[in-house]
Structure 1
Amino acid sequence: MAQAPYLTWLYVPGDRPDVVAKALDSGADVVIVDLEDAVAPERKRYALDATAELLGERRRVPVHVRVNALDGPLAEAEVRRLTPLPGLDALRLPKVSGPGDVARVAGWAAHVPPLYALLESALGVENAHAVAMAHPAVAGLALGEADLRADLGVSDPAGLAWPRSRTVVAARAAGLAPPAQSVYPDIRDTEGLARSCAEGRALGFLGRTAIHPRQLPVIERAFLPTPAEVEAAHEVVGAARTEAGALSLPDGRFVDAAVVAAAHRTLALAGRASERRPRAPRSP
């Protein structure tokens, strides 16, 4: 069975090593150490030092780092310092507007790790596919919806429907994994988070970034397949083992390679329940 995709990505401030330590034990699939928005200007240097110390050794949970603005004074030094470290699993690049931003970061890196490009402007969304294809190290796209709302002047979530679909399509067209949804800012509204995740799943997103451990189980439940979906996936995979090329199931459904691949992903996700030990969320 294929390795299950990541579903939960937890942001933590880089200037709070105590919070980072708790995040690594929170049950999140990925911990994102943030050097950008979550860190005050006077704490940026300390955040970089603390993050470099953290990344001096590999962790059992993948650690990504969101660097500061690529056109600002800090990002280049952050990339040059962090990319040689063994504990860095990926970089998240904020406010990417075009493929040149990705190429610039790759030029700074001693060793180019996987790169996740955050699209946070109208220009970034327009260039989504070009960004996804900008460098072989690009591993994923994501929306930064707070800044995108401001850039577009959007006050209703419906105004983000096209940018969301554009990001999903661009990632798929580039052969990347489905993007994870942007953060849900109200950490107390778990019902609203669940509804929002269901909407995102219907659009083609897979998983979600979070800003508090209490959001993690809600996100995971929302993106895990239902028993009916698991049963259907088993039927597709079983039929594919016995027939080559396109095939038709007993109920008349047509199945091709893309449907079989989706079924394998469903079964990989279904395996998470038995592979992962339940954890109680811990507050930072």
Structure 2
Amino acid sequence: MTRYPLTWLYVPGDRPHVIAKALAAGADVVVIDLEDAVAPDRKDYARAATADLLTQPQPVPVHVRVNALDGPWAVDDLAALAALPGLGGLRLPKVTSPDQVRQAAAATPVPLHALLESALAIERAYAIATAHPSLRGISLGEADLRADLGLRADAGLDWPRSRVIVAARAAGLPPPPQTVHPDIRDLDGLAASCAHGRALGFLGRAAIHPRQLPVIERAYLPTELEIEHAETITKAALANEGAQALPDGRFVDAAVVATARRTLSLARRG
């Protein structure tokens, strides 16, 4: 049974004490950030500290967001982190072409995740998603994308969001997680945003503070009504092969059954 991560907790790579707390915070994946969260004069320290930590397996999966592949630090990031026992994946920021994914894949055997943060990246979403077998997921970087598009309202991001979701699924990748909600005090806004993201087809979300994790989980875990509905569908599918109608008139076919099974898989997490 597939177990999809729902929470991805970002933490600055130059703050080992904060990383230690993040590893115990209950996130499905901890993402050590060497990019935006680390000042230029701290890049070498953050890389060395992260590499030192990841020489040992960690209690939860740990990914590292390296620096942009076209910048001055990425080559050293990939060399330092290439095959460490505690590293579960690398997140590649500001990807704009399939060649960048292939470049990273040639440098490391670690699973890769591409972050699409520009209009050009959105236009090339499917090509990026199918660039290499090492690529295990794509997602958005909405702050940079918002600036690139000159957006003033959140609604302007809905088309790029849907584009990335469709590209991921067309490439056989998991549904993307949402990007971070930057206001760590606005938990109601986070919940509303997660509900909207779930309706679009996202699965899970990145976080920048542990207090955001339970809000994300509640938003993305199935409700009791959804679980009951899914159980009814799967029982009907076991009892009768092929398309059919439930007693209440709802039509059930293979796609509906697959959705129900994914709902139950999420409900049984942990």
Band the TM-score falls in, shorter-chain normalisation: over 0.9
Is 1:31–1:64's contact at 8 Å kept on the other side of the alignment? yes
Tell me the amino acid that sits aligned with residue 241 of structure 2.
Answer: A
Q: Please give the per-residue CA displacement for 1:231-269, whole angstroms capped at 9, x wherever unaligned.
A: 111112112223334343333333333322221221121
Is 2:222–2:267's contact at 8 Å kept on the other side of the alignment? yes
Correspondence for 1:15: 14
CA distance in 1, matches of 2:79, 2:252: 47
Q: Please give the per-residue CA displacement for 1:189-239, whole angstroms capped at 9, x wherever unaligned.
A: 101100100010110011100000010111111111111100111112112
Aligned pairs (5 A) from 1:93-172: 93-109=92-108, 111=109, 113-172=110-169
CA distance in 1, matches of 2:209, 2:11: 8
Correspondence for 2:81: 82
CA RMSD of aligned residues (A): 1.2
Of stretches 258-267 and 115-124 in structure 1, the one that deviates more from structure 2 is 258-267
Aligned pairs (5 A) from 1:5-84: 5-84=4-83
Kindly state the Cα deviation for residue 179 of structure 1 after the two structures are TM-superposed.
Answer: 0.5
CA distance in 1, matches of 2:80, 2:242: 49
Kindly state the Cα deviation for residue 81 of structure 1 after the two structures are TM-superposed.
Answer: 1.9
Is 1:245–1:256's contact at 8 Å kept on the other side of the alignment? yes
Is 1:76–1:105's contact at 8 Å kept on the other side of the alignment? no
Tell me the amino acid that sits aligned with residue 246 of structure 2.
Answer: L
Correspondence for 2:194: 197
Q: Please give the per-residue CA displacement for 1:169-193, whole angstroms capped at 9, x wherever unaligned.
A: 1111111111100100000010110
Kindly state the Cα deviation for residue 3 of structure 1 after the two structures are TM-superposed.
Answer: 4.1
Of stretches 216-225 and 244-253 in structure 1, the one that deviates more from structure 2 is 244-253
Is 1:140–1:176's contact at 8 Å kept on the other side of the alignment? yes
Correspondence for 1:224: 221
Is 2:82–2:107's contact at 8 Å kept on the other side of the alignment? no
Q: What is the aligned length? A: 270
Kindly state the Cα deviation for residue 59 of structure 1 after the two structures are TM-superposed.
Answer: 1.1
Kindly state the Cα deviation for residue 98 of structure 1 after the two structures are TM-superposed.
Answer: 1.5
More RCO (CA 8 Å, sep 6+): 1
CA distance in 1, matches of 2:132, 2:2: 24
Kindly state the Cα deviation for residue 114 of structure 1 after the two structures are TM-superposed.
Answer: 1.4
CA distance in 1, matches of 2:249, 2:134: 41
Q: Secondary structure at the match of 2:102?
A: helix
Q: Which of 197, 206, 209 is 2:203 aligned to? A: 206
Q: TM-score, normalised by structure 1?
A: 0.92
CA distance in 1, matches of 2:148, 2:60: 34
Q: Secondary structure at the match of 2:30?
A: strand
